[in-house]
């Protein structure tokens, strides 16, 4: 199974890059690769211009604190037998913070920053609400001053009102600390609210990259159009092609040519044979569609 294929992307310092696509399209696999929790079969990764492949083991290890993550389900990402204090301080302990008092101060400061008082220090994850658990996960991710945070559906499991609070917190923290976010979501409204730039993924490939507002106002790829059509409340100023009801094929059985052709209302003969590459549509905009350039 090839979950992610020929994906090439940049994340710029301090930006919020969104990654959207239907469930199963490969978003988490890409996140795991960036987190180095999953190995890529082929490809290259650079951090601040340096190729990871050319780094020594020690250099790669030194990189770990720079890239932190928050997953969708804090229930499974927070150790249930650890108290909040231990959960948040663990990365500190593993990275040379030997002074217990200093760690305690740092943890208290971080918890305060994510909106949790000192009374949370000794609680266990099961004693917290979903939103509080996610705040703890954010505090832990922040504790080593990362340059990149990979947020994989961090609010998808939360109630709408709690979701808004956590999104606002993420926004404030970024303004304060300046790290970049890779924000993964299948919720386009949330992506529009938070992201500077959006990358759209379909069946393991990136099909469109665009600045957020341009993507929403003028999608270049038929799949992006279809996604936008699935949120009817959005204010859009151009008519859309009919949405397709059928589902994304399995990555075990990808169609030949453009992976989207069985669902694409604009497919032409060429789409069944040739895989479209991601190419520039205009400044800062990329699309993988044989017809995108003609627009
Ligand atoms: N460890 C694995 N073994 C086999 N298939 C996997 C594994 N992890 C993910 N997949 C498959 O890879 C595809 C992409 O999955 P994933 O990256 O989790 O997608 P998303 O996060 O976009 O929902 C899916 O078809 C999924 O079933
Ligand atoms: S390449 Fe063809 S099938 Fe694929 S999105 Fe473009 S028009 Fe549709
Ligand atoms: Mg996922």
Predicted local distance difference test score (pLDDT) of residue 203: 94
Examine residue 226 and state whether it is found in any structural domain, yes or no: yes
Question: What pLDDT does residue 231 have?
Answer: 67
Q: In angstroms, what is the span from residue 271 Cα to ligand 2's centroid? A: 6
Task: Enter the tokens of residue 274.
Answer: 């040739």
Question: 3: part of which helix (H) or strand (E)?
Answer: none
CA 45 to mean position of chain CA atoms? 16
205: phi then psi, degrees, rounded to nearest 5: -120, 150
The pLDDT of residue 234 is 44
Instruction: Find out whether the beta carbon of 207 lies less than 6 Å from any atom of ligand 2.
Output: no
Q: Could you tell me if residue 230 is inside a domain?
A: yes
**pLDDT at site 246:** 67
Q: Which of 267, 204, 151 is nearest to 22 (CA)?
A: 204
195 in a structural domain: no
pLDDT tens for each residue of 224-248: 999 998 765 444 433 333 344 567 8
* pLDDT at 76 (0 to 100): 76
Residue 207 has what DSSP assignment? E
Q: Half-sphere exposure (CA, 13 Å, Cβ side) for 5?
A: 18
Cα distances (Å, whole numbers) of residue 162 to 52, 74, 166, 177: 37, 14, 6, 22
Q: Is the CB of 260 under 6 A from ligand 2?
A: yes
Residue 160 lies in a domain: no
Write out the two tokens for 190.
């949330």
Strand partners, 12: none
pLDDT of residue 235: 42
Angle, CA 150 vertex, CA 130 and CA 167 arms, to 5°:
45
Q: Which residues pair with 71 in a beta bridge?
A: none
Is 258 near ligand 2, meaning CB less than 6 Å away? yes
Domain that holds residue 261: 212-295
Structural domain contains residue 217 = yes
∠ CA 186-187-190, nearest 5°, is 135
- Is residue 86 in some structural domain? no
What does the pLDDT read at residue 292?
Answer: 84
For residues 287 and 253, give the distance between their C-alpha atoms in angstroms, rounded to a whole number.
23
pTM for the whole structure: 0.91
Which residue has the least CA distance to atom 3 on ligand 2? Answer: 261
222 in any annotated domain: yes
Distance 275 CA to ligand 1 centre (A): 22
User: Six-digit token pair at 149?
Assistant: 């945070």
pLDDT for position 101: 97
Residue of minimum CA distance from atom 27 in ligand 1: 24
- Each of the 295 residues of the chain gets a pLDDT tens digit; together they read 888 888 889 999 999 999 999 989 999 999 999 998 999 899 999 999 999 999 999 999 899 899 999 998 767 789 999 999 999 999 999 999 999 999 999 999 999 999 999 999 999 999 999 999 999 999 999 999 999 999 999 998 899 899 999 999 999 999 999 999 999 998 898 999 999 999 999 999 999 999 999 999 999 999 999 999 876 544 443 333 334 456 788 888 889 999 999 999 999 999 999 999 999 998 889 999 999 865 4
Mutate to test the pocket of ligand 1, among 26, 203, 259 (most ligand atoms within 8 A of CB): 26
Distance CA 188, CA 167 (A): 13
Report yes or no on 247 lying in a domain: yes
Instruction: Please compute Rg for the chain using Cα positions.
Output: 20
pLDDT for residue 245: 54
The domain total for the chain is: 1
Give the number of whichever ligand sits closest to the CA of residue 37. 1
Reading the block at residue 143, the tokens are 């504790």
The tokens describing 138, both together, are 């954010």
Q: Which helix (H) or strand (E) holds 143?
A: none
Residue nearest to atom 14 of ligand 1 (CA): 26
CB 108 within 8 A of CB 118: yes
Contact criterion met (CB below 8 Å) for 213 and 187: no
């Amino acid at each position: 199974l090839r979950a992610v294929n020929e994906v090439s992307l940049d994340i710029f310092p301090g930006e919020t890059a969104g990654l959207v696509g239907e469930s199963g399209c490969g978003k988490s696999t890409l996140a795991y690769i960036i987190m180095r929790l999953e190995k890529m079969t082929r490809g290259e990764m650079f951090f601040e211009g340096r190729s990871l492949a050319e780094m020594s083991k020690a250099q790669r290890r030194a990189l770990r604190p720079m890239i932190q993550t928050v997953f969708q389900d804090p229930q499974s990402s927070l150790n249930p037998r650890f108290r909040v204090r231990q959960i948040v301080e663990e990365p500190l302990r593993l990275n040379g913070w030997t002074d217990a008092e200093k760690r305690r101060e740092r943890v208290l400061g971080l918890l305060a920053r994510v909106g949790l008082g000192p009374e949370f220090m000794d609680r266990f994850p099961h004693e917290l609400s979903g939103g509080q658990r996610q705040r703890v996960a954010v505090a832990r991710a922040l504790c080593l001053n990362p340059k990149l945070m990979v947020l994989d559906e961090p609010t998808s499991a939360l109630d709408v009102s709690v979701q808004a609070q956590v999104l606002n917190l993420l926004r404030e923290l970024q303004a304060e600390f300046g790290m970049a976010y890779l924000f993964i979501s299948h919720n386009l409204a949330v992506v529009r609210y938070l992201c500077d730039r959006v990358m759209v993924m379909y069946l393991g490939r990136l099909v469109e990259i665009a600045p957020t507002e341009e993507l929403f106002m003028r999608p270049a790829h038929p799949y992006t159009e279809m996604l936008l059509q699935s949120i009817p409340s959005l204010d859009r100023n151009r008519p859309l092609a009919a949405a397709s009801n059928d589902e994304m094929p399995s990555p075990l059985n990808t169609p030949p040519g453009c992976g989207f052709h069985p669902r694409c209302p604009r497919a032409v003969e060429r789409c069944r044979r040739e895989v479209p590459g991601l190419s520039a549509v205009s400044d800062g905009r990329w699309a993988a569609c044989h017809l995108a350039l003609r627009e």
